Structure 1
Amino acid sequence: MPPAQQQHYGPQFEGQDHRMHQPWFQYSQCNGKKKALCIGINYAGTSAELRGCHNDARNVQRFGYQMDDIVVLLDGLPNPRQWPTKQNIIAAMQWLVRDARPNDSLFFHYSGHGGQTKDTDGDEADGHDETIYPMDFEQAGHIIDDEMHAIMVQPLPPGCRLTAIFDCCHSGSALDLPYIYSTEGKIKEPNLAAEAGQGLLGAVSSYARGDMSGVFSGVKGLVGLATGSNKKAAEHAKRTKTSPADVISWSGCKDTQTSADTSEAGQATGAMSWAFIESLSRQPQQSYQQLLQSIRDLLASKYSQKPQLSSSHPMDVNVIFIA
């Protein structure tokens, strides 16, 4: 099980208060309040129509949440307040994280279309932000990963869990979490915590307060140089998107891949949503590394997409996954 005490990482260094500091985060024990938001968009009657997204949302809904603790948005429902419009999605995201406390367990699931758009703040190594598409995207536009991170990750206190599942194309870093893991349990890109020093501490401290101006001033010239290379983009992401909250994202594929809208056991479904539920149904207690591997194994025989695991902090992937 995840340890209850604060988890420190990276080097110690002297802060502006002349005391020694070290970056830290806190796992959630997931024994507090539970809330969930499930979004399924089939885009019925359009050229972009999908078949399995409603089923994905309903299947996750049945995965252990009380009706009072879950919001489900589906296009085609009688009540327009339950439609996954851009306005309703953002309002529901805000509801999900409102009044969040340590040891709470929040769950976000999105099944629909995903895409990419040009990155404007230098935190993407490939130069593209990831996006999701509300049912009214042609009028209202898409929602980019920076927005979702600002709404659902930034407000969370240390020790609060948010588990997100993105079953959509180009979703590898859809929540802008800077630590991405391989099936061997290793962070795919260099762990900047070991070399960030005081700049990272200042950025993390400002981030926790919601002071984004403090984040950017804390990293000084590094922000201005972030667009120069993949490494600098990764450094920028870690300095501005690391969080002491316990945020985990499972995505259906890499940023460069598509996710399948398919059929399993005679039911239309997203491949990632099916594999996630199937894996935990077969073996409810798995570590993060085991779950990532088992989901990939389920998909590998039929699909080319490679699900991704990312987090808001460096974590021990041998810890048992709970939500």
Structure 2
Amino acid sequence: MTRRALCIGINDYPGTGSDLSGCVNDARDWASELYSRGFEVDSLIDAQATRAAMTSAIHTLISSAQRGDTVVFTYSGHGTWVVDQDGDEVDGRDEALCPHDISTRGALLDDEIRQLFDRRGPGVRLLLISDSCHSGSVTRGDDSALDPGGPRARFLPPEAWMKTDELPAAARASTLAVISGIRRTGSDLLLAGCRDQEYSWDTSFAGRPNGAFTFYALKTLREKKPSTYEQWHAEIRKYLPTNRLPQEPQIFGTRTARKMRILD
């Protein structure tokens, strides 16, 4: 059994005026944790994470996996949306990841990611960890470790990267729901930083930038040592959402997958 991971973190978005600060640390933190658990880890950081490079790296991660292998894909960066062109989205929008060169090469659509993941062979376990997105409000949790100052949403509106004549008629905020249309099997899991109507927040702790979801996911993994994904999610929810970090972490997968041992 082989364990492989791809960790992507993008702070730098040339031409958008919407740079982030904690995504590179997120990717490096996930890579370090996964490496310590015996994973072979590849990373794409900032300018490395072009649209072409992301597509190629995801393809390599998936196509090289065989029955019994575990693959993990983590993404920290902006999410965005475009108008759905093939009628497969109820809300009329294709959600997307934002590569470093989104201003010149465009977004990586959920349809394209779905096609990449659908090439996965039988018996391959897939875990996706997404720390990006949209906004709501709930009061609870514990954000006492959060630094003063305002967190920033990890959402890139179309008008920040599209040309004026290409903008959708109703350019409005959306979430990153890339996994919603991906074929799932009994061993597939998604851990997401927020609900579909919320943002994931880019902020800092003890002077070090991080995504709130990534920070608390790793904090609870190391300190609470949950044995299953279901337990891990419950521990993260003790910290999020809060007034300053109004995001509700999500877990998607079958009951069997939720009860699997973490990163096994």
TM-score normalised by L of structure 2: 0.75
User: Is residue 179 of structure 2 the alignment partner of residue 175 of structure 1?
Assistant: yes
Shift in CA distance, 44/139, structure 1 to aligned 2, threshold 3 Å: closer
Q: Deviations over 1:46-92 (max 9, x none)?
A: 5111111111111111103279922111125xxxxxx1100011011
Checking the alignment, whether the CA contact within 8 Å between 2:118 and 2:183 is kept in structure 1 is no
Structure 2 counterpart of 1:304: 246
Instruction: Give, as a single letter, the amino acid of the residue that structure 1 aligns with 2:249.
Output: P
Structure 1 counterpart of 2:50: 85
Structure 1 counterpart of 2:40: 69
Matches of 1:284 and 1:99, distance apart in 2: 30
**Over alpha carbons, which structure has the higher Rg?**
1
User: Is residue 125 of structure 2 the alignment partner of residue 133 of structure 1?
Assistant: no
Tell me how many residue pairs correspond in the alignment.
221
Structure 2 counterpart of 1:33: 2
Structure 2 counterpart of 1:159: 123
Checking the alignment, whether the CA contact within 8 Å between 2:188 and 2:257 is kept in structure 1 is no
Q: Deviations over 1:253-308 (max 9, x none)?
A: 12222111100132100111112111111122333322222212212234111122
Checking the alignment, whether the CA contact within 8 Å between 1:166 and 1:174 is kept in structure 2 is no
For structure 1, the residue ranges without an aligned partner over 5 or more in a row are: 1-31, 77-82, 178-240
Instruction: Give, as a single letter, the amino acid of the residue that structure 2 aligns with 1:174.
Output: V
Structure 2 counterpart of 1:144: 109
Matches of 1:122 and 1:318, distance apart in 2: 35
Structure 2 counterpart of 1:27: none
Matches of 1:125 and 1:317, distance apart in 2: 27
Aligned to 1:95, the other structure's residue is in SS state helix
Structure 1 counterpart of 2:82: 117
For structure 2, the residue ranges without an aligned partner over 5 or more in a row are: 135-174
Aligned to 2:178, the other structure's residue is in SS state coil
TM-score normalised by L of structure 1: 0.62
RMSD: 2.4
